[in-house]
């Protein structure tokens, strides 16, 4: 079980980087007073990170 967690963390490095980049882009949009785009980017970041986590978990747990 421990090695599964370590493997999953290793495989989540790229999705986490994309998540951080998208959050920073959303913060920039929010600073520019473009709230619709900022909210959309925040939602995209969360959904994409969650989807990556679920897919990796199913691949590793199978």
Query: What percent of the chain is helix, strand and coil (3-state, nearest 5)?
Result: 90, 0, 10
pTM over 0.95: no
The domain segmentation of the chain, as residue ranges, is 2-61
Instruction: Give the pLDDT confidence of 1-58 residue by residue, as tens digits.
Output: 577 778 778 888 999 999 999 999 999 999 999 999 999 999 999 999 999 989 988 8
8 A C-beta contact, residue 19 and residue 45:
yes
Q: How far apart are CA 55 and CA 2, in angstroms?
A: 18
Query: pLDDT value at position 26?
Result: 98
Q: How far apart are CA 34 and CA 26, in angstroms?
A: 9
Query: pLDDT value at position 48?
Result: 96
């Amino acid at each position: 079980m421990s090695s599964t967690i370590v493997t999953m963390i290793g495989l989540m490095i790229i999705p986490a980087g994309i998540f951080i980049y998208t959050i920073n882009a959303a913060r920039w949009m929010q600073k520019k007073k473009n709230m619709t785009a900022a909210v959309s980017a925040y939602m995209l970041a969360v959904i994409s990170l969650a989807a990556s986590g679920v897919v990796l978990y199913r691949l590793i747990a199978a």
